[in-house]
Chains A and B, each alone.
Chain A
Amino acid sequence: LAKTTQPISMDSYEGQEVNITCSHNNIATNDYITWYQQFPSQGPRFIIQGYKTKVTNEVASLFIPADRKSSTLSLPRVSLSDTAVYYCLVVVNAGNNRKLIWGLGTSLAVNP
């Protein structure tokens, strides 16, 4: 089964681009990569999801190399409100069963 590993914390400044990388060495062919954001005292919220190459939405981009052993969440021009914990999730699809492999989260602090 895939295991997800991500940095415990990161620091940045307003206006900078932030890249958070998640390692998932044992990812299988049918597994999907998803990222969630969590603010204090709230439940996690979906940010972006991908399978391979690059995905972009209004909030973030997700880069996945060809071997899919890692993925990088990119937040362009962060603001103070992007201070949160970011979780990498690998959704393991095995026939009719599904397993959820969550990372331990990366605490991002955006400074003025």
Chain B
Amino acid sequence: NAGVTQTPKFQVLKTGQSMTLQCAQDMNHNSMYWYRQDPGMGLRLIYYSASEGTTDKGEVPNGYNVSRLNKREFSLRLESAAPSQTSVYFCASSEPLSLALADTQYFGPGTRLTVL
């Protein structure tokens, strides 16, 4: 099993350009997440999707949009990239066992994005 895959691995954009980060999982998980990771800031949740057809804002959603295309795929779009969006982006998926338990998140390898 590939687990969680992300494309591209690296990307350089100019300010104002747009791009979509792709994420796919083959574990049949219902929940998917997008995080950004910056030095000294830990992991910050951008958006998440509890199940196919639903998306919710996380801690830092401004400047981003998401699409839960189907159960496997969850994409993150930057409509007009800004230097402040330079970061490492991680996608994750999980299968909530129940509301009484915290589910294990499986992370992809990350996309390193630089906005000039």
Query: Which of B58, B92, B104 has the most chain A CB within a 10 Å cutoff?
Result: B104
Q: Is the interface of B mostly helix, strand, loop or mixed?
A: loop
Q: Is the interface of A mostly helix, strand, loop or mixed?
A: strand
| Beta-carbon contacts under 8 Å, A17-46 to B | 30, 32-34, 36, 41-46
| Beta-carbon contacts under 8 Å, B21-68 to A | 40-45, 50, 58
With known contacts A87-B42, A102-B42, A105-B42, A43–B92 Cβ distance under 8 A: yes
Q: Specify the chain A residue showing the minimal Cβ separation from B56.
A: A97
Interface flag for A104 (CB, 8 Å): yes
User: Contact between A42 and B102 (Cβ–Cβ < 8 Å)?
Assistant: no
User: Contact between B99 and A102 (Cβ–Cβ < 8 Å)?
Assistant: no
* Total chain A interface residues with beta-carbon distance under 8 A: 24
B36 to chain A, nearest CB (A): 12
User: Contact between A42 and B110 (Cβ–Cβ < 8 Å)?
Assistant: yes
CB contacts (< 8 Å) of B102 on chain A: these are: 32-34, 49, 89, 91, 93
| Beta-carbon contacts under 8 Å, A87-112 to B | 87, 89, 91, 93, 95-96, 98, 100, 102-105
19 A–B contacts from the bound complex (CB under 8 Å): A32-B101, A34-B104, A42-B109, A43-B107, A43-B109, A44-B90, A44-B107, A46-B104, A46-B105, A46-B106, A49-B102, A49-B104, A87-B43, A91-B102, A91-B103, A93-B99, A93-B100, A104-B41, A105-B42
